[in-house]
Amino acid sequence: MAKLNGKVAIVTGASRGIGEAIAKLFAAEGAKVVCAARSLNEGDHKLFTGSLNTTVAEIKAAGGTALAVQTDLSREESCVRLVAKTRETFGPVDILVNNAAVSFFAQIKDMTLRQWDTSWAVGPRAIFVLTKEVLPDMIKRCSGAIVNISSSGAIGPGRGPYKDRGPGANSGTKYGAQKAAIERFSQGLAQELYQYGISVTALSPSQLVVTPGTLFFKMAASPNDPRAEPPDMMARATLLLATEPLDKVTGRVTYSQQILQEFGWIKKGQGTGIDRPGSGYSQI
C-alpha cells in the first residue's frame, strides 16, 4: 500500500535535483504534491535545466497528482501565497519539505551583502515563514511532518591551525552557517511541536548528489561521478522521515544512507553518518 495516500505535501526546490526526486517519489506514494520553485518553464533559469512544469508533467504522466506553484521563497508574500494555494487546491498541508536553497560559493571577503541576504532569505528565513503558515492546520489535527534539507556543509572545519589551504578554500562558510542554523532550528522546533504530534527532522546526503547545481559548481565531475549517490537516495530518506512514527524520528539530524540503513530500507550504506561522523547536531 502506498505510504502517502490522502496526504498533501509541499516540496520546495522541486524544479530539479533533490527536490524533483522527492516530489516524484511522494506522488508515486499517493500524495498530492505541490511543487514550488522559481523556474516555472524550461529556460527560466539561465544556468540550469529543469522546471516546475516539467516535474509536474512527468508526475501526471506517471499517474500522480501535482500542482506547480511558481514561488519566490525570498519574499514572504510569495511563501504565504504558496501555502494558501495548496490549501485552496488540495486542503491542509500534511508534509512540508524545505529543500530549496540559493548558493553563492565565495569567500566572505568577496561576498556582497545582496548575495548573503538572498541566500539566507531562501534558506532559514523561508523555512520559518512556511513553517508558520502550515502549523495552524497541523496543530489543529495533531499530526504532520516537516523535513528540512541540510548538508554536510554544516560540519565545520574545526579549530586551527589551517595548513595547506590553497586559493578558493573555505568558500562554503556562508552555506555551512545556514545549514547549521537549519539543523539547530529543526531540533528546537521538534521539541516545541512534540506535544502536538508533529515531527520535525533535518536530512543531509551521505554522499555528494549529482544535480545541475553540483555539476555547474564543479563539485561533481560528471553525471556518473563515483563519489556520488543518486537523488533517489535522498528522496527515499525524506519519505522515511515523513512517514515513520513520531517517537522514532522527531528531532533527528541525520544523513540519507545512515537513516535508510538504520531502518532497514537499504542493506549497507556509506558516507557521512556511517563512515565518518556528521555535524554536532547529528550527534545529539
* Residue ranges covered by each domain of the chain: 8-156+169-283
Sorted by sequence, the CB contacts under 8 Å of residue 251 that are 6+ apart come out as: 186, 187, 190, 191, 194, 200, 201
Looking up cell 560540519, which residue turns up? 155
For 151-193, the pLDDT digits (tens) are: 999 998 888 888 766 545 567 899 999 999 999 999 999 999 9
Cα end-to-end distance, the chain, whole Å: 33
DSSP state letter for 124:
I
Question: Residue 166's pLDDT is what?
Answer: 52
Question: Residue 43's pLDDT is what?
Answer: 67
Rounded Cα–Cα distance for residues 14 and 125 (Å): 18
For 57-100, the pLDDT digits (tens) are: 999 999 999 999 999 999 999 999 999 999 999 999 999 999 99
8-156+169-283 belongs to which homologous superfamily? NAD(P)-binding Rossmann-like Domain (3.40.50.720)
Catalytically active residues, by annotation? 150, 175, 179
Question: Residue 8's pLDDT is what?
Answer: 98
Mean predicted confidence (pLDDT) in 188-208: 97
pLDDT at 256 over 60: yes
